[in-house]
Structure 1
Amino acid sequence: MRMNTGILLFLLFATTWLFNQAVYIVDDRERAVMLRFGELVRADIPSGIHIKTPIAFQVKKFDGRIQTLDSPEAEYLTSEKKQLIVDSFVKWKIDDVSKFYRATGGDPTRIDGLLLRRVDTGLRNQFGERTVKEVVSGERDQLMADMTEILNKVAKEQLGVRIIDVRVMKINLPDNVSESVYQRMRTERERLAQELRSEGREEAEKIQAGADRQRTIIIANAYKDSEILRGEGDATAADIYARAYGKDAQFYDFYRSLFAYREVFQGDNNFLILKPDSDFLKYIKSIDKK
């Protein structure tokens, strides 16, 4: 009885061991390969439950999620031979697990060093093609986009990984470089501001000249119209006077004299010095005689 129990326990243990050796699970977040004495025999095993046949084969699993690799601060030279201190990081994930296994020898910790060397070379080339001003003020996004594209091509081919993003977090300038760069940028901003002010003054002068010209034209047209109206009024008045004189010359002469009296004697100005034989007051004299 005791022997039977021992045999059963042995068989149960052996079955459990064989099951654990033969059955394996690949998670959705993992990439797996199958090895025979260290040699790759099957790559990119799909997720799920699998059985090894033969059980002597080994299954190697790697993290298939997006990984982040922080690069230590490094010094790079620009096209002007100016030194920059750059802090960056890389996001990557396994693309071809068989290439990844061969490149790392099955040790995933080696990928950091392999990627860092390529990141360093790529950033050195990218910064070497640009000036300090371009890197600091305008072309950082383009630099990162170019770096991502170039590094992704190399990493896929050589390491079996896909580069999601290369990000430059910080660019520091040594003190001697910082002062010269900031001074150059300040000078450029002042020059641009002066150009804008000059253009503004020039535009204001153009607007003022246009307004003055328009005002002169409007005044000239108004004066012309007023002179035309005055001439037409004078002509009409002259015609009326002529017709009135033609109908009754004596009454017309009397009317004109009354108009002259009104103009002369209005207000306090009523003192005249005339010759005795002047005709100016002839109608007033005729009233006195009557």
Structure 2
Amino acid sequence: MTGKGLGLLIVLGLAIIVGSQSLYIIKETETALTLQFGQIVDNDIPAGLHFKTPFLQNVKKFDARILTLDAQPSRFLTEGKKYVIVDAFVKWRIKNVLKYYKATSGDRFEASNRLADLANKGMRNEFGVRSLHEVVSGERDQLMSKLTADLNKETLDNFGIEVLDVRIKAIDLPEELSNDVYRRMRAERDREAKEIRSEGSELAEGIRAEADRNKTVTLANAYRESEQIKGEGDATASNIYAKAYSKDSEFYAFTRSLKAYTETFRSQDVLLLKPDSDFFRYMKDAQGK
């Protein structure tokens, strides 16, 4: 290779190196700033292709997308002096890259720690002025909105971080408080069960008493009707007997005697009677005289 060709190759290599050090690309999902000898010379660089002074300036890039801080569950004291364990997360993003870099040196871990401390401080203040019922259900949405607004103002001013949302995943009671609550719940449920059972027993007694009364009334009415029917039947039978007797009293007396003989001698074969008793009336004389 000739000296001219070698020199051209060297120049081309240097041009490539200088070009690679001079050009840089910022993506749509990034934000960046330019440093020169450790001093910030440009910030909030828009997405696209950009130039910088080679070897003298360097570019710091940061994720501009919405990030999630999933904090460790923390213990807070409510207004009623009840402890709760809160598991929450924070949605945030870099809004002012200059403030962000000055406050955290561009360290995302440092930014997350500071944001977690501020979020815990805000939740401690908000939980401290609310009762357990309010933080669990009553004013939960209001609490989250206020906490998000207050936290966003503080982080935006101090760290260039925009807090988009603070949400609570779970609120749990400490084990000792949970056991106490469960005991009270069981006692309340037992009391309600006893009241319901007592009301049921009272209702059952009323139903049984009503059923017994109805039974007594029904049997009494049935007995009365049966006696009436029996009396009417006896009256009808007596009337029939009377009519039959009035038609032929002698024949009626004869048939009654035969029936008496049949019934008497069927059950016993020895009788002790006077010879002139009316029982032997038709045995002595067919005419009954």
TM-score tier, shorter chain, comes to 0.5 to 0.7
Counterpart-to-counterpart distance in 2, 1:258 and 1:201 = 70
Deviation at 1:209, TM superposition (A): 1.3
Q: Deviations over 1:62-117 (max 9, x none)?
A: 1636434434755x3332335x37464525343xx424764564723324313421
Distance 1:202 1:68, change over 3 A: same
Residue 37 of structure 2 corresponds to none
Match of 1:151 among 137, 147, 171: 147
Q: Does 1:33 align with 2:40?
A: no
User: What are the within-5 Å matches in structure 2 for residues 180-259 of structure 1?
Assistant: 186=183, 189-249=186-246, 250=249
Once residues 263 and 232 of structure 1 are traced to their aligned partners in structure 2, the CA distance between those partners, rounded to angstroms, is: 28
Q: 1:41, 1:168 → 2: CA distance?
A: 37
Q: Tell me which residue corresponds to 1:285.
A: 280
Give the Cα separation in 2 of the matches to 1:243 and 1:193. Answer: 73
Contact 1:100/1:161, CA 8 A, preserved across alignment: no
Q: Secondary structure at the match of 2:95?
A: helix
Structure 2: how far apart are the matches of 1:246 and 1:196?
A: 74
- How many residue pairs match? The answer is 263
Q: 1:161 — aligned with what?
A: 163
- Secondary structure at the aligned position of 2:25 is classed as strand
Distance 1:195 1:64, change over 3 A: same
**Conservation of the 8 A alpha-carbon contact between 2:79 and 2:128:** yes
Q: Please, what TM-score do these two structures have when normalized by structure 2? A: 0.65
Measured against aligned partners, the alpha-carbon deviations of 1:151-210 in whole angstroms (never above 9, x if no partner) come to: 34445554323336434576537xxxx48x856763564354234213312221212211
**Residue equivalent to 2:61:** 60
Compute the TM-score of the two structures, normalised by the length of structure 1.
0.64
Mind listing any 5+ residue stretches in structure 2 that lack a counterpart? 35-39
CA contact (8 A) 1:104 1:111 kept: no
> Letter of the aligned partner of 2:206 in structure 1?
A
Give the 3-state SS of the residue equivalent to 1:160 in structure 2. Answer: strand
CA deviations on 1:241-262 (whole Å, 9 max, x unpaired) are 3134213343666777888899
Superposition RMSD on alpha carbons, in Å? Answer: 4.6
Deviations 1:18-38 (A, max 9, x none): 2454242638xxx31244645
* C-alpha distance 90-264 of structure 1, shift in aligned 2 (>3 A): farther
Corresponding residue number in structure 1 for 2:49: 51
State the distance in 1 between where 2:58 and 2:270 align.
142
Uncovered stretches (5+) of structure 1, i.e. residues with no partner:
none
Q: Secondary structure at the match of 2:168?
A: strand
Rg (Cα) greater in structure: 2
Note if contact 2:22-2:51 (Cα within 8 Å) is conserved in structure 1. no
Q: Which residue identity lines up with residue 282 of structure 2 in the other structure? A: I
CA 1:289–1:256: 2 relative to 1, 3 Å: closer
1:33, 1:93 → 2: CA distance? 14
Give the share of equivalent positions with the same residue, in percent: 13
Q: Taking structure 1 as reference, are residues 214 and 202 closer, same or farther at Cα in structure 2, changes over 3 Å only?
A: same
User: How far off its partner does 1:8 sit?
Assistant: 2.8
Q: Could you tell me which residue of structure 1 aligns to residue 12 of structure 2?
A: 11
